Structure 1
Amino acid sequence: MASDRRTLLADAALDVLADEGIRGLTHRAVDRKAALPPGTTSAYFRTRAALLTGLVTRLVQLDQEELQTMAEHLRPIRTAEELVDGMVLLTRQRLTGEGRRRSLARYACAVESVRDPELREILVPRENAGREAVRVFLAGQGVPDVENRTHTLLTCMDGLVFDRLVSGGEVPVEPLEGIVAAALR
């Protein structure tokens, strides 16, 4: 039961962060969003740091589940075009609906992690099915320094998502094609 309640509160905290930003993230706001009595969030996450840690841990879990599900539904990447198609799909997921809300929360937490090593450690890019698919594709193409190229490609894609989250619209295909072409050089 406690684990379910912590998950419910972390999900509510994600919603508060997406709706109100980092300054709006309070224990009381999470209680209201979760429709729970005042003080409930404080009972499970005593401090703001504990609340942020719970929120970020849940965010990473949801991101990992999303990437695993995508990988299970996509075939192994064989061409640059298939890689671009997968990147288009992921950027669209990150910019619409629930994915957009998680992206807003993710970037707010990333800024907070600059001053908080514990948050930064949780947010560090993890091994996941998406990263592995890119790594395997690049290695199969004979690309030197696969680890750095994978990291750079995914970081560039993340930057494009951030740009569109702030300025609006979808990530155009052309920049994605460009970063894939650069990774293959």
Structure 2
Amino acid sequence: MPIDRRTVLADAAIDVLAETGIRGLTHRAVDRAANLPPGTTSAYYRTRQALLTALVRRLVALDQAELQAIGEQTPVPRDAEELAAGIAVFIEHRLTGDGRRRSLARYACALESVHKPQLREILVPRENAGRQVVHDFLAEHGVTDAEDRTVTLLTCVDGLVFDRLVNGGRVSSREIRGLVAAALR
């Protein structure tokens, strides 16, 4: 099934944003990245705000699909080591390849949403199967405030990803095990 033009443009916009930052996100840059004639992006998304909104919607859709697949393919971990190993795989994905590109774009959009509340509404974290795996693990291990701890743990994971994107380096298994242990306390 062919991908529609709006999706092609939104995907190209994610690439441009990841490569050049928010200032580099222009209609012309997206046209070039999508290998489409000049003016194509502008024909579909008349304003920069419309382009940015489409980019954020596509980014959220891709992230949600990925997190849903992770959750559906991952049984609830039996112990803290299994949970830490799963989180390590997730972090590695967010720091490399296509995951890195989307992480860079996601953080740029998050910062932009501080000044554009309509973007913030789109970026609000959603329920998904991946998040549910963490919640269920914590609940099954006697954590009474599993929802709050899930949010805290995943926020810390997000912070580690952000830090390593900005400062380089890898996330150690010790760091991840420490986060999981803290969530279980």
**TM-score, normalization by structure 2:** 0.96
Give the aligned partner of residue 99 of structure 1: 99
Structure 2 residue runs without a partner (length 5+): none
In structure 2, C-alpha distance between the alignment counterparts of 1:102 and 1:150, rounded to whole Å? 22
**Helix, strand or coil: the match of 1:35?**
coil
- For 2:15, give the aligned amino acid: D
Give the aligned partner of residue 127 of structure 2: 127
- For 1:96, give the aligned amino acid: T
In structure 2, C-alpha distance between the alignment counterparts of 1:119 and 1:130, rounded to whole Å? 23
**Structure 2 counterparts to residues 35-114 of structure 1, below 5 A:** 35-114=35-114
Per-residue deviation, 1:77: 1.5
**TM-score, normalization by structure 1:** 0.96
Give the aligned partner of residue 158 of structure 1: 158
Per-residue deviation, 1:71: 2.2
Deviations 1:15-59 (A, max 9, x none): 000111110000110011111111111111111111111001101
**Helix, strand or coil: the match of 2:4?**
helix
In structure 1, C-alpha distance between the alignment counterparts of 2:146 and 2:72, rounded to whole Å? 22
- For 2:151, give the aligned amino acid: H
Deviations 1:128-182 (A, max 9, x none): 1111101111111111211111000000000000011111122111111111111
Give the aligned partner of residue 170 of structure 2: 170
Per-residue deviation, 1:67: 1.4
In structure 2, C-alpha distance between the alignment counterparts of 1:37 and 1:65, rounded to whole Å? 30
Q: Is the 8 A contact 2:68 2:130 kept in 1?
A: yes
Q: Tell me the matched-pair count.
A: 185
Structure 1 residue runs without a partner (length 5+): none
- For 1:47, give the aligned amino acid: T
Q: CA RMSD in A?
A: 1.5
Give the aligned partner of residue 118 of structure 2: 118
The alignment status of 1:13 with 2:5, answered yes or no, reads: no
- Runs (4+) of structure 1 exceeding 4 A deviation are none
Give the aligned partner of residue 149 of structure 1: 149
Per-residue deviation, 1:83: 0.7
